[in-house]
Amino acid sequence: MRGNIGFIGAGNMGQAIMGGILASKLVTAKEIVVFDRYQTTLDAVKTTYDITAVNSEIEVVEQAEIIILAVKPNTLADVLVTVKDAVTPDKIIVSIAGGKSLTFLSKYLPENTKIIRVMPNTPAMVGEGMSALCVNDWITRADEAEVLSIFESFGKAKIMDEGLIDAVTGVSGASPAFVYMFIEALADGAVALGMSRADAYTFAAQTVLGSAKMVLETGKHPGELKDMVTSPAGSTIEGVKILEDNKFRSAVMNAVIAVGEKNANM
Ligand SMILES: NC(=O)C1=CN([C@@H]2O[C@H](COP(=O)(O)OP(=O)(O)OC[C@H]3O[C@@H](n4cnc5c(N)ncnc54)[C@H](O)[C@@H]3O)[C@@H](O)[C@H]2O)C=CC1
Ligand SMILES: O=C(O)[C@@H]1CCC=N1
């Protein structure tokens, strides 16, 4: 790393990324410089991770080379206005705010600022994140590789065209929420059939984890993997029919599209 990694905002996502970077030992805890305007959060993060806590947004920009803006989209403009004068051409500004484009970000920053827009997700917290990175014209190949290595330290990461960011937000940024709903529902079904709550979450979550690994590691089409589970006249196909009757796949598709459309209009 060329220097410290800064965070402005240390909520769910800021902490997920911080935790991921620290677990992978990409930098030391002291090389992570954090400001959160909510003192309780800042104190908690300092205690939990032993990072360098500072007292303002500007101090983060001054003390770090790569600055991750992890505030809510509706506070992003205020943060950009606050830090603008401290942003020099050598700094890399990374925004993870949903719906805020590179053009939006560049309007608030000096003309030649290096900017990267990222859509990560919360599984970063356990080293299994999925992030898409969109870069502006001032980002060099070396900058790109360095920031990619941050996001690869806690999962998979890929440089993507900004035109695909709404699709990314639907399929990986927001979809952990859908997956948790699915796991909860699987477990509820098992509980209805007599299994304990604790066992039901373990059986459901391990099955989702294993099924995801099958897709990633076998390279087989998900339909083929589904067919491997459904014996003729067996029990699984009865469940598949219920999901089809209830438009399960259509509901999931529409959920992804709704996220993307909202993201495009934030
Ligand atoms: N939660 C998620 O699954 C994902 C969130 N995102 C994006 O990440 C961003 C952050 O989301 P969350 O972490 O969920 O929100 P959050 O509300 O948990 O965290 C935001 C943090 O920023 C702090 N903050 C606000 N203004 C500040 C300022 N001026 N200086 C320093 N700290 C400030 C708040 O005190 C809070 O701790 C959002 O823009 C969201 O679109 C992106 C991908 C996934
Ligand atoms: O709900 C949101 O706005 C963000 C974007 C992706 C996940 N959370």
User: What pLDDT was estimated at residue 139?
Assistant: 98
User: What pLDDT was estimated at residue 125?
Assistant: 87
| Measured CA angle at 60 (ends 33, 78), to 5 deg | 130
Strand extents, DSSP E, the chain: 5-8, 32-35, 52-53, 66-69, 92-95, 114-119, 129-135, 155-159
CATH tag, 5-168: 3.40.50.720
User: What pLDDT was estimated at residue 2?
Assistant: 82
Angstrom distance (rounded) from CA 192 to CA 197: 10
Ligand 2: lining residues by beta carbon, under 6 Å? 98, 169, 173-174
Which 3 state secondary structure label does DSSP give 250?
A: helix
CB burial of residue 97 (10 Å; 0-12, 13-18, 19+): buried
Q: Looking at the CA of residue 122, tell me the nearest atom of ligand 2.
A: 7
Which 3 state secondary structure label does DSSP give 40?
A: helix
Pairing type for strands 92-95 and 5-8 reads unpaired
Provide the ipTM: 0.97
For 173-264, which CATH superfamily applies?
ProC C-terminal domain-like (1.10.3730.10)
Query: Any residues with CB less than 8 A from the CB of 122 and at least 6 apart, and which?
Result: 12, 13, 16, 129, 176
User: What pLDDT was estimated at residue 38?
Assistant: 97
CB 115 within 8 A of CB 93: yes
User: What pLDDT was estimated at residue 182?
Assistant: 98
Tokens standing for residue 90: 């050598």
Angstrom distance (rounded) from CA 97 to CA 240: 37
Which 3 state secondary structure label does DSSP give 157?
A: strand
Angstrom distance (rounded) from CA 180 to CA 172: 13
Chain centroid to CA 59: how far? 25
Q: Looking at the CA of residue 174, tell me the nearest atom of ligand 1.
A: 3
The torsion angles phi and psi of 157, rounded to 5 degrees, stand at -150, 145
For ligand 2, atom 1: residue with the closest CA: 174
Angstrom distance (rounded) from CA 15 to CA 7: 9
Per-run averaged pLDDT (10 residues), the chain, 266 residues: 94 92 92 98 97 98 98 97 97 97 98 97 93 98 96 96 98 98 98 98 98 98 98 98 98 98 93
Residue tagged 């900004």 (tokens) = 162
pTM: 0.95
How many other C-beta atoms can be found within 10 angstroms of the C-beta atom of residue 229? 12
Ligand 1: lining residues by beta carbon, under 6 Å? 8-14, 35-38, 41, 57, 70-73, 75, 79, 96-98, 119-122, 173
Q: Is 99 left (phi over 0), alpha (psi -120 to 50) or beta?
A: left
Residue-by-residue DSSP string for 199-248:
HHHHHHHHHHHHHHHHHHHH---HHHHHHHH--TTSSHHHHHHHHHHTTH
For ligand 2, atom 2: residue with the closest CA: 98
Taking the domains of the chain in order of start, what are their residue ranges? 5-168, 173-264
Using the mean position of ligand 2's atoms as its centre, give its distance from the Cα of residue 233 in Å.
41
Using the mean position of ligand 1's atoms as its centre, give its distance from the Cα of residue 49 in Å.
18
Angstrom distance (rounded) from CA 260 to CA 20: 26
User: What pLDDT was estimated at residue 8?
Assistant: 98
